[in-house]
Amino acid sequence: MSKIRPLELQDFPLVKAYLRRYPPQVSELTFTNLFVWRTFRPIFVADKDDTCILLADYRKDGCWVFGPPLGKLSSLAEVRWRGMDIKGFTRIPEDTAKRLRDEGLSVIPDRDNADYVYRASDLANLVGAKYHKKRNLVKQCLEKYQCQYEEITLKNISECIQMQDQWCTVRECGRDPGLCHEYNAIRDSFTYFELFNLIGGAIRVNGVIKAYAIGEELVSNTAVWHFEKAMPDIQGLSQLINQWFSLRSLQGFEFVNREQDLGIPGLRQAKESYYPHHMVEKFTAIMASTGLNGAHRPDPKECDRHNRVQE
C-alpha cells in the first residue's frame, strides 16, 4: 500500500512539479487551494510510481480521491492496485468522469462546483451593453472616491490583512463557520504569498486599502482567482477591484477561472452577471459498493464558501 500522509508545506515542490507535468482543468488543483483550506478540508497525499493521488475525507474505512490522479496511474483499477480503499472520486473533470463511468462507477454531475471561466479581456474592459450596470458602478465609485491601484507585495500585505480583519468585523465572521474557514485560508494566502508565487492587487480609497484580490496561474493561458474582498460600504468598489485586477494584474492571461458558486443563489447570480465564456463541469464518481447517495458525499458547502463576490 502506498504511504498516505497529510498534505504539508514541505509538499509544495512535489505537488507543483506534478501540476506542471499534468496541467489541471479544475480550480481546486493548485497547491495554494489544497493547502490553505486544510483546516476545513484536510487533504492527504499518496506519491508512488510517478503518480500523485490527492485524498479527501480520509478514514480507516476508505477515502475519496480529490481531483483526477496526477501521473501515469489514472484508472480506478490502477489506484485500487496500489492498496487504497476508494469510496469514489470527487471534483473530477469530464474526461476523468467518462473513464470512470466506463470502469463501472456511478457518475453524478456536480453543478454547484462547476468553475466559471471568463475571457480576461471581458473582465478588464467591460465592453458592451451587458456590462452597462458594471461600468456605471465603477464610474460612480471613481467619481465619489479617490482610488489608487497597486500590486500586493510584502510591503503592503500587513495593510491587506488589517483590511480583511475590518471586513470580518463588519460581516461578523465569527457567526459564520464558512467565513471563519475562509478567514484562515486568506491569512495563510498572505503568509505564503511570495512562496506560492501568488498574484495580488489592492485598491486604496483615500489612501487606505479597502479592496484586494488574490490569484495565480492555473495553466499557461489561465489564471485562477482565489479571493476578493471589498469593504461593503463603498458602492462600486467590488466592481472596480474586479476590473482593475483583471486589467492590471492578469493581462498576460487569456482566461480567468473564477471558481465555483457552491450552489449559493446570490453567488451564482453574481458570477453569471459577468457572463462566463465557458464552464468547467465537474463530477463525482461513486463506487457501487459504497451505497452512498448524493447526500452522503463530501459536502464542501457547509464551510467551503470561498471566492465570494458581489454583483
Distance CA 259, CA 224 (A): 7
Which whole-number Å values give the CA distances from 5 to 52, 80, 86, 90, in the listed order?
12, 17, 16, 19
pTM of the predicted protein model:
0.90
Mean local confidence (pLDDT), 114-133 = 98
Mean pLDDT of 260-281: 97
> What is the Cα–Cα distance from 57 to 88, expressed in whole angstroms?
11
Place of cell 485598491: 203
Site of grid cell 509544495: 12
Q: Are 247 and 125 in contact (CB under 8 A)?
A: yes
Residue 180 grid cell:
471563519
Query: Based on the number of CB atoms within 10 Å of its own CB, is 135 exposed (0-12), middle (13-18) or buried (19 or more)?
Result: middle
pLDDT band for position 302 (cuts 50, 70, 90) = very low
User: In terms of DSSP H, where are the helices of 228-282?
Assistant: 237-248, 265-272
Confidence at residue 304, expressed as pLDDT on a 0 to 100 scale: 47
The mean per-residue pLDDT over the stretch 127-133 comes to 98
Average pLDDT over residues 9-25: 96
CATH superfamily label, 4-114+280-302: Gcn5-related N-acetyltransferase (GNAT) (3.40.630.30)
Asked if the model's pLDDT at residue 294 lies above 50, the reply is no
What are the cell numbers at 248? 492590471
Query: Domain segments of the chain: what residues?
Result: 4-114+280-302, 115-278
Do domains 4-114+280-302 and 115-278 share one topology? The answer is: yes
Instruction: Give me the residues paired with residue 229 across strands.
Output: 212
Dump pLDDT digits (tens) for 157-185. Answer: 999 999 999 999 999 999 999 999 999 99
The partner residues of 71 in beta bridges, in order of sequence, read: 51
- Does pLDDT of 256 surpass 90? yes
If 0-12 CB within 10 Å is exposed, 13-18 middle and 19+ buried, where does residue 119 land? middle
Q: How far is C-alpha 238 from the chain's CA centre?
A: 18
Output the pLDDT for position 150: 98
Spatial distance between the Cα atoms of 230 and 210, rounded to a whole number of angstroms: 6
**74-101 burial string, b = 16+ CB within 10 Å, else e?**
bebeebeebebebbbbbbbbeebbebbe
C-alpha 296: how far from chain center: 23
| Span 282-292, average pLDDT | 76
Give the mean pLDDT of 130-137.
98
Strand, coil or helix: 6:
strand
Nearest partner of 83 among 56, 63, 106, judged by Cα: 63
Mean pLDDT of 227-242: 98
Instruction: Give percent of the chain above pLDDT 70.
Output: 87
Per-residue model confidence as pLDDT tens digits over 62-108: 789 999 999 876 566 566 645 667 889 999 999 999 999 998 999 99
CATH homologous superfamily of domain 115-278? Gcn5-related N-acetyltransferase (GNAT) (3.40.630.30)
